Amino acid sequence: MPYDAFKHVDYWVFDLDNTLYPPHARLFDQIEILMANYVMRELNVDAQTAHMLRQKYWTEYGTTLAGLMHVHDIDPDPYLHEVHQLDLSGIEAAPALRAAITALPGRKIIYTNGSRAHGEGVSSALGLEGVFDAIYGVEDAGYTPKPELTAFQKVFTADGIDTKLAAMFEDDMRNLAIPHQLGMKTVLVGPAESAPHIHHQTEDLTAFLTHLVR
């Protein structure tokens, strides 16, 4: 692994869900249920239709929220509050991950398609409070989600990130295409998938970062 490829990096951007914590924590299962319940109630549809729409909008618009806003003109803030009322007891503190991220040189941020409050709550449950210089949610991108170019531009501009000196860590390969286009090093966190915009891949974020700072 060419870890020297990261020696120029001064800005470290991390997705949250299934990136900073592993998928086996099953946190997103809770989110999917809460999203479906919201869709059932607000659109007056049955559970099967709600889950179909949730997946359809995620595929077509980047997030279920983006589809609900575009097609049904829903108010994003109540939705974001409701779908992030989670039981975080399954999230284990990650002291080794904390040490690895703390040791990275430069500025470190979380950028999630969830809400900023969700980012704050989950990072705290992981024992990562105080590690990141900033946490950004979809509201900070004007509710436009990754993988849209304008979403990245709004967050990166607000944070002052020089993308030529930055790296992005994500579990959704769609969300690495624009960072690659902007000159960032890209790391897919999860099972290996091949695409020109993926520079590196790992299923163990802690080990990957630990090797970067040795």
Same domain, 33 and 134: no
- Angle, in degrees to the nearest 10, between helices 27-43 and 76-83: 140
Same domain, 150 and 177: yes
> What's the distance, Cα to Cα, between the start and end of the chain in Å?
13
The widest CA-to-CA distance across the chain, in whole angstroms, is: 55
Q: How far is CA 190 from CA 60, 72, 74, 179, in A?
A: 22, 33, 32, 17
Same domain, 187 and 206: yes
Same domain, 173 and 144: yes
Whether 36 maps to a domain, the answer reads yes
- For residue 4, the model assigns a pLDDT of 83
Same domain, 168 and 71: no
Q: Which residue has the tokens 């998938």?
A: 193
Q: How far is CA 41 from CA 32, 45, 61, 169, in A?
A: 14, 7, 21, 35
Q: How far is CA 95 from CA 13, 71, 138, 193, in A?
A: 19, 42, 27, 28
pLDDT of 64 over the 90 cut: yes
pLDDT of 175 over the 50 cut: yes
CATH value at residue 46 = 1.10.150.450
pLDDT of 1 over the 80 cut: no
Same domain, 11 and 38: no
- What is the extent of the structural domain holding 42? 27-83
Same domain, 147 and 187: yes
- Average pLDDT for 185-198: 95
Q: 131 phi and psi, to 5 degrees?
A: -80, -35
Whether 34 maps to a domain, the answer reads yes
Same domain, 13 and 40: no
H or E, element range at 109: strand 107-111
Residue pLDDT, tens place only, 22-40: 988 889 899 999 999 999 9
Same domain, 134 and 73: no
More confident residue, 5 or 140: 140
Whether 88 maps to a domain, the answer reads no
pTM of the model: 0.94
- For residue 213, the model assigns a pLDDT of 80
Q: How many domains does the chain have?
A: 2
Structure tokens at 196: 């020109």
Residue pLDDT, tens place only, 94-151: 999 999 999 999 999 999 999 999 999 999 999 999 999 999 999 999 999 999 999 9
Whether 37 maps to a domain, the answer reads yes
Same domain, 123 and 204: yes
Strand locations in 2-106, DSSP E? 11-14
- Percent residues over pLDDT 70 in the chain: 99
